[in-house]
Homo-oligomer: A and B are copies of this chain.
Amino acid sequence: MHSSTKQHNFSAGPAILPPSVLKEASQGVRNLNNSGLSILEISHRSPEFDSIAKEAEALVREIAGVDDSYAVLFLSGGASSQFFMAPMNLLGENETAAYLDTGVWSTKAIKEAKNFGNIEVLASSKDRNYVYIPKRFKKPKDAVYLHMTSNNTIYGTQFQKFPDVEAPLICDMSSDIFSRPIEANKFGMIYSGAQKNIGPAGVTLVIVKKDWLGRTDRNLPSMLNYMTHVEKGSMFNTPPAFPIYVLMLTLRWIKQKGGLAAIEKMNKSKARLLYKEIDNNPCFHGPVDKKDRSLMNVCFLPTKKEFTAPFLEMCKNVGISGVKGHRSVGGFRASIYNAMPRRSVQALVNVMQEFGKKYG
């Protein structure tokens, strides 16, 4: 019995992965490519794993359109470790970095960065509990970089356009990476935990401009220095082998689906379906400014508080899981990442319509 035949998994993350990826990953745990060995028990220096790691890197480069002037790293420690590693590696003590504050994750990135240089927060949408993306802000002056969170899982907002500034962008794309085409050359660095669109928890993708590295003279622990991982091809120490393997399988799936343009088209179609229902159904409304709505995390609130429990119950009864909203927003949230099939979104829309008829 396959998982996706039983549950519509709207979890915000770790999140749904393509059934074909889960199937192959499951097989790899028992017997990797008929090697007679499990992916869990082979050396990271073996030819088998080496080819997995190399294919993962090649797929990142191909899918994202990232050339050799960027390093592609597979690290551990999550995006949360990049909050401090980015400024630790890239920002001098007397230099300034600019940040946009679009929610909890931006706020954490800002907090961690403050230990390493001058941090200028150019704009924040905190005034309205982060239901919009700030668009007007003064251009950062002499900033080494501008940091942002491209998609905000908790609030359901997303940058639809990246700001045009002189400074290179550093972007935490943890919750929308590879959900749409990327203009890679706008970015000095892109980082992302794998566990939404590109794999399971336990590996972090870092894409960073090579000529940017070594620009500060901090004496860093080897493991915290990007240069270490560039020089050792992400194998300075034993890498998180299985998460990298599943990431590679997921990237193969993205490529097979037609790459980022095709993926974006599917994501837009799914999001349109759901937002349309939210806007039309008398029992629900969307708190996020329409132009800033996320294609990945669709937040919606009940028009009456007492709708919450029965709607969640109705969802549960048809095998829809993970739609309870984040505690800081309330209501509901449907995370519809790359691997979410349109028919699951339709199943949710059907329940909303049924609920609307009953309670609306």
Contact = CB atoms under 8 A, between A and B. Distances in A.
Contacts of A38: 3, 17, 22
A322 B43 contact: yes
A83 to B, nearest CB: 8
A16 B2 contact: no
Given A25-B40, A40-B200, A112-B223, 12 more contacts: A7-B37, A13-B43, A17-B38, A22-B29, A22-B40, A26-B29, A76-B202, A78-B237, A80-B237, A83-B221, A202-B202, A242-B243
Given A221-B115, A319-B36, A41 B78 contact: no
Contacts of A238: 13-14, 78, 193, 195, 201
A84 B13 contact: no
A332 to B, nearest CB: 15
Contact of A77 (B88, B195, B223): B223
B43 A80 contact: no
Contacts of A338: none
Interface in A212-237: 219, 221-224, 236-237
B202 A241 contact: yes
A125 interface: no
Interface string A29-55: 111000111101111101000000000
A79 to B, nearest CB: 8
B80 A236 contact: yes
Interface of A: 1-3, 5-7, 9, 11-17, 22-23, 25-27, 29-31, 35-38, 40-44, 46, 76-81, 83-84, 88, 108, 111-112, 115, 193, 195, 200-203, 219, 221-224, 236-243, 246, 319, 321-322
A296 to B, nearest CB: 15
9 contacts: A3-B35, A6-B37, A17-B40, A76-B240, A77-B223, A83-B223, A195-B238, A202-B243, A243-B243
Contact of A14 (B25, B44, B111): B44
Contact of A37 (B3, B25, B77): B3
A233 to B, nearest CB: 15
A97 to B, nearest CB: 15
B237 A37 contact: no
Nearest to A22: B38
Contacts of A88: 221
A41 B27 CA distance: 17
A243 to B, nearest CB: 6
